[in-house]
Chains A and B, each alone.
Chain A
């Protein structure tokens, strides 16, 4: 490649510099990605025979699902009430644990050793998908809502503590200086100079997390952690596809409603 700004006779030309300046590296990356895609597609075990066999089965399931049928409406209601309980308790526990962890994980506030512990906690909480955590907790504490609550508490810490720590790192330091200059101790300085600055974000995150936990509680229920997900899984096990579809539609409805509410609240305070 020639330089991107080039002097020719009379006038100069200009071209946008390439994203990766070194041509050797650029072409190596492009060719490497292409080669990998070709290899990955050709080596995946697509078994066309099995797919063909599966299609009639899929059609049977969908036929069985229509029309959706609320045969056991009270089960759906129970499932949802349990899901909502799981989501609320997990959000409360998660947010309460998130606040101290977020302070520990903010580099402008925490000493280095505490910062490392705080960051490590967040990374561990984020590193597994809730379904994997739910499988572990179902094995550890048995089927039911407790496993769901524990799972979603960890899920909440991973998100809320991380976002809150980032907000703490962006605070206006002058307010901290002012409280220190007045003779405030460490705890009082956090309370007066930091908490008011992060409060709107804290409330927004909590509401978002409640909404998110409600959705996730339906998913972790499928592996046995209680709530509407468990109801849905049982319907599948009993081949009640019409009931299962009814439950699915209800889940979509509830999530749309909760998202609308949480979105509205967050818009007004963020």
Chain B
């Protein structure tokens, strides 16, 4: 159970990116977070595993308050939270197996990590997961030799190697073609139910969000303005989530008349 309460994130003295945000993700649900660019989706996910430092508020994962952790405690908490990235963020020059095993870096002692001497149980788990997503035959290939869809599978397996209690996916399909994108979404949904894992997915593709998740959260300007099952996401709700652009909202756009004059000259 992930419980976010009154979360605020402010960069410097600018307007807050997340404003008193509240969200609960129980059990093993797959939740899609939608919203325009700049709505704060990515910041929200990064606040959970503290890649971004929250300004105030509380984030509780299965009884652990995440916002106050530091040093070793933070590392122990991070290994319980798997993350999947838009740009895959694999270590390009290392092999697929090394990338997968790097999901264990929060568990193994430094000397094992240095010598790439991972415990047999980790290696077994790695092969098992790689076989599950169909990349086991690439174990000794360099990560940058794989196609986009295959790389994201490596990313998924790396996150699962952490034996996470929750999975965060930040635009996991935005760098992929439509077909591969659907395969990855399908994989995430299947894995979530097989491993009884709650998954939080930032996503731009609303059709995929509706199809592959049980709950949709709509964000706008740092607030959650929609939170319901996919069938409730009507055109009106969509218009509200994606209405306007931040500059327009603040009344910062130029006078269209003057531009028309320039163009027609």
Residues of chain A touching chain B, judged by Cβ–Cβ distance below 8 Å, are 172, 174-175, 177-185, 187-188, 191-193, 196-197, 199-200
**Chain B positions 147 through 168: 1 when the CB is less than 8 Å from some CB of chain A, otherwise 0:** 0000000010011001000000
* Cβ of B97 to closest chain A Cβ, rounded Å: 13
Kindly list chain B residues whose C-beta atoms are within 8 Å of the C-beta of A175. Answer: 89-92
Is A182 within 8 A of B93, CB to CB?
no
Is B162 within 8 A of A183, CB to CB?
yes
Q: Which of the candidate stretches B101-109, B123-131, B199-207 sits at the interface with the other chain?
A: B101-109
Kindly list chain B residues whose C-beta atoms are within 8 Å of the C-beta of A193. Answer: 91
Is B78 within 8 A of A177, CB to CB?
no
| Contact for B110 among A187, A196, A197, CB less than 8 A | A187
Chain B residue nearest in CB terms to A187: B110
Is B93 within 8 A of A184, CB to CB?
no
Q: Give complex CA distance A178, B168 in Å.
A: 12
Given contacts A183-B78, A184-B105, A192-B102, contact A178 B83 (CB under 8 A): yes
| Contact for A180 among B78, B155, B158, CB less than 8 A | B78
Q: Give complex CA distance A177, B49 in Å.
A: 10
Is B91 within 8 A of A199, CB to CB?
no
Q: Give complex CA distance A197, B92 in Å.
A: 8
**Chain A to chain B: the 4 pairs with minimum beta-carbon distance, closest first:** A183-B106, A183-B79, A174-B89, A178-B89
Q: Give complex CA distance A193, B85 in Å.
A: 15
Is A183 within 8 A of B51, CB to CB?
no
Q: Give complex CA distance A192, B83 in Å.
A: 17
* Cβ of A201 to closest chain B Cβ, rounded Å: 11
Kindly list chain A residues whose C-beta atoms are within 8 Å of the C-beta of B87. Answer: 174
How big is the B interface, by class? 20 to 34
Kindly list chain A residues whose C-beta atoms are within 8 Å of the C-beta of B103. Answer: 182
Chain A residue nearest in CB terms to B51: A177
Chain B residue nearest in CB terms to A183: B106
Is A196 within 8 A of B93, CB to CB?
yes
Q: Give complex CA distance A89, B39 in Å.
A: 56
Is A184 within 8 A of B162, CB to CB?
no
Q: Does B225 contact A (CB under 8 A)?
A: no
| Contact for A182 among B72, B88, B106, B114, CB less than 8 A | B106
Chain A residue nearest in CB terms to B49: A181
* Residues from 6 to 61 in B contacting A, C-beta threshold 8 Å: 49, 51
Is A196 within 8 A of B106, CB to CB?
no
Kindly list chain B residues whose C-beta atoms are within 8 Å of the C-beta of A197. Answer: 91-93
Is A182 within 8 A of B102, CB to CB?
yes
Kindly list chain A residues whose C-beta atoms are within 8 Å of the C-beta of B94. Answer: 192, 196
Kindly list chain B residues whose C-beta atoms are within 8 Å of the C-beta of A178. Answer: 83, 85, 89-91, 102, 155, 158
Is A185 within 8 A of B75, CB to CB?
yes
Is A192 within 8 A of B89, CB to CB?
no
Q: Does B113 contact A (CB under 8 A)?
A: yes
Q: Does B76 contact A (CB under 8 A)?
A: yes
Kindly list chain A residues whose C-beta atoms are within 8 Å of the C-beta of B51. Answer: 177, 180-181
Q: Give complex CA distance A265, B240 in Å.
A: 59
| A-B contact sample (17 more), CB < 8 A, given A178-B91, A182-B83, A191-B113 | A175-B89, A175-B90, A178-B83, A178-B85, A181-B78, A182-B78, A182-B162, A183-B77, A183-B162, A184-B75, A184-B106, A185-B110, A188-B105, A191-B114, A192-B94, A192-B102, A197-B91
Q: Give complex CA distance A177, B86 in Å.
A: 12
Kindly list chain B residues whose C-beta atoms are within 8 Å of the C-beta of A196. Answer: 91-94
20 A-B residue pairs with CB within 8 Å = A172-B92, A174-B88, A178-B91, A178-B102, A178-B155, A179-B102, A180-B78, A182-B83, A182-B102, A182-B104, A183-B107, A184-B75, A184-B102, A184-B105, A185-B110, A187-B110, A188-B105, A188-B110, A192-B113, A200-B93
Q: Does B81 contact A (CB under 8 A)?
A: yes
Chain B residue nearest in CB terms to A200: B93
Q: Give complex CA distance A197, B91 in Å.
A: 8
| Contact for B93 among A177, A181, A187, A199, CB less than 8 A | A199
Is A181 within 8 A of B81, CB to CB?
yes
Chain B residue nearest in CB terms to A173: B89
Is B158 within 8 A of A182, CB to CB?
yes
Q: Give complex CA distance A191, B93 in Å.
A: 13
* Cβ of B64 to closest chain A Cβ, rounded Å: 13
Kindly list chain B residues whose C-beta atoms are within 8 Å of the C-beta of A182. Answer: 78-79, 83, 102-106, 158-159, 162
Q: Give complex CA distance A181, B106 in Å.
A: 9
